[in-house]
Amino acid sequence: MRRLLTGATAVALGVTGALVMANSGTATSHKEVRYVVAYAEGSSAASARAAVKAAGGEIVSENSAIGVATVSAGEDFAEAANASSALVGAAQDRIVGANTPEAAGKARKQDVSNVETEFRDAKGSAPKAPKPKDSSEPLSGLQWDMKQIDSAAANKTERGKGVRVGILDTGVDGTHPDIAPNFDAELSRNFTTDIPVDANGDTVDGPCEDEPDASCEDAANVDENGHGTHVASTIASPVNGIGISGVAPEADIVNLRAGQDSGYFFLQPSVDALTYAGRNGIDVVNMSYYVDPWLFNCTNHPADSPEDQAEQITIITAMQRALDYARAHGVTLVAAAGNQAIDYTKPQTDATSPDYASEPGEAAYVRDLLDPESCVSMPTEGNGVIAVSSTGQSERKAYYSSYGNGFVDVAAPGGDVYDNPAGTRDLTGAILAAYPYNMAVEEGAVDPATGEVIAPWAVADCSSGTCSYYQYLQGTSMASPHAAGVAALIVGEYGSRDWSGKTLSPKKVEKVLLKSATDKACPVPADYTYVRHLPNGNTATSTHTCEGGEGPNGFYGSGIVNAKAAVTR
């Protein structure tokens, strides 16, 4: 994996603990803005706080474990903070107290390829689950993904009991019948606050009063997006006679919510969630996202203003510190490779960043990234992070999955609805996992009057007397949790007991995960052309080049994760 070395080890701070409330000054501008600042290495906490105050900022909260603080200040704060030797820089978060938009509703962050739900325009009936041949879960016949990684064979001897898996995502529906038995409500936390609108007045998470709890501060067992619940279910849905089973069906699910309802993920929640994971005995975390607003964070791109350069340096520095902290405290870090269908080791063009307006008038612009070494996507390209690409049913790399020789560490099933002989859209080629009932109703998948599924991307299991709901999604976001689940099995199988249950060093987990993966060579020829016959009658083609031959290689890394091989001594 290519790395950008930023000297991002934790600074020596004269404060213990992690989240500390402190006041250090007063905002100096008429418009209050929220910033995230990283303290410079070698600076004391006192000198960094003084620098914040001198720049006109007031510390709202401080993550003293890694030297990062959230600051409230005026619009002129960033320039002063970036000039201070006691601070790495400032990343603007959002304007505080923006007006609620007239238009109700909830926007969704759109991925570059928008692949996860690109089949939501499909009509017809939901797919029926083949009757299980054994005592498997009722919908196990639809879980081709678990067959691909041989999870059933692994679960005969290892199910992840005593292992804690942190879900850094949009939240987890802890009340879902196929999640609740493994959901750790006591440890789960929500590190976010809903944002009704951005600086341009555009809808982000939507008016808080329109949400089920009528609040901008959601409980730690809530997911008003659905993404995090799907991820958690893939990792650790229990074997309980309901719906499906996850890769590690007895692992504990810990919701460490770092994402907005809309799917945006910002810096402060991400670093706070990671440090929390390190302090609370979390063994594995799954990160199926990149930190907004920059898909790629560049330290010195000529198209970026000095303020934007400092912001991206701050994101890289703060995230790497948090990743280092978590890994040093026993947390194995697993992340999605991305759905941009690009080779991360080659020059690219980023036309999507910044994707969130933290100041009025801000909009994305085109940057030619000619030197792949100078720009990184966080957290996936952070040091110590296992990057996971996506496969379809035939084991080919999914058409949307990003790749790159030296970037991808392993591959795992993430779905590909066009991976079939005809090259036409088949929803069962995606990944089935838990769907929050409220989201299923809001998105038109379930009739609230009858509980009936009315959309082909959703499936219900009512065999227990109470219906639980599931949805099809595809993406590297769905591949990463399969690898995280196998990592949980590895901790369960080879780890030792400690105060939190089980523990195993992330270095050993990664070694077993990569060594046990099933070798998968590059296609022949290595220039693989995808042909997709779209529902509108058009045909889409794209060619991706796999470098590395039999492996490791750019499509599959060390291979497709294999649960059985991972726990076979």
Enzyme catalytic residues: 169, 227, 477
Gap between the Cα atoms of 329 and 123, Å rounded? 48
Contacts of residue 209, defined as CB under 8 A and 6 or more positions apart, other chains included, come to: none
DSSP state of 132: P
| Contact assessment for residue 504 and residue 488, using Cβ atoms and an 8 Å cutoff | no
Gap between the Cα atoms of 38 and 90, Å rounded? 7
Angle (CA) 282 286 292, round 5°: 120
DSSP for 191-233 reads: -----SB-TTS-BSS--GGGSTT--SS--TT-BSSSHHHHHHH
Q: What is the 3-state secondary structure (H, E, C) of 282-328?
A: CCEEEECCCCCCCCCEECCCCCCCHHHHHHHHHHHHHHHHHHHHHHH
Query: What is the biggest distance separating any 2 CA atoms in the chain, rounded to whole angstroms?
Result: 69
Gap between the Cα atoms of 270 and 265, Å rounded? 7
Between strands 87-95 and 33-39, the pairing is antiparallel
| Contact assessment for residue 476 and residue 288, using Cβ atoms and an 8 Å cutoff | yes
| Contact assessment for residue 205 and residue 192, using Cβ atoms and an 8 Å cutoff | no
| Contact assessment for residue 69 and residue 37, using Cβ atoms and an 8 Å cutoff | yes
Match 């809309």 to its residue by tokens: 262
Find the Cα–Cα–Cα–Cα dihedral 115, 261, 249, 274, rounded to 10°: 100
Gap between the Cα atoms of 494 and 328, Å rounded? 18
Between strands 410-413 and 385-391, the pairing is parallel
- The alpha carbon of residue 428 and the mean position of all alpha carbons in its chain are separated, in whole angstroms, by 23
Q: Which amino acid is at 2?
A: R
Phi, psi (deg, nearest 5) at residue 7 = 60, 45
| Contact assessment for residue 211 and residue 224, using Cβ atoms and an 8 Å cutoff | yes
Gap between the Cα atoms of 386 and 408, Å rounded? 8
Based on C-alpha coordinates, what's the Rg of the chain?
23
Gap between the Cα atoms of 454 and 446, Å rounded? 5
| Contact assessment for residue 166 and residue 332, using Cβ atoms and an 8 Å cutoff | no
Beta carbons within 10 angstroms of residue 188's beta carbon: 22
| Three-state DSSP class for residue 509 | helix
- The alpha carbon of residue 88 and the mean position of all alpha carbons in its chain are separated, in whole angstroms, by 25
| Contact assessment for residue 480 and residue 334, using Cβ atoms and an 8 Å cutoff | yes
Gap between the Cα atoms of 177 and 181, Å rounded? 8
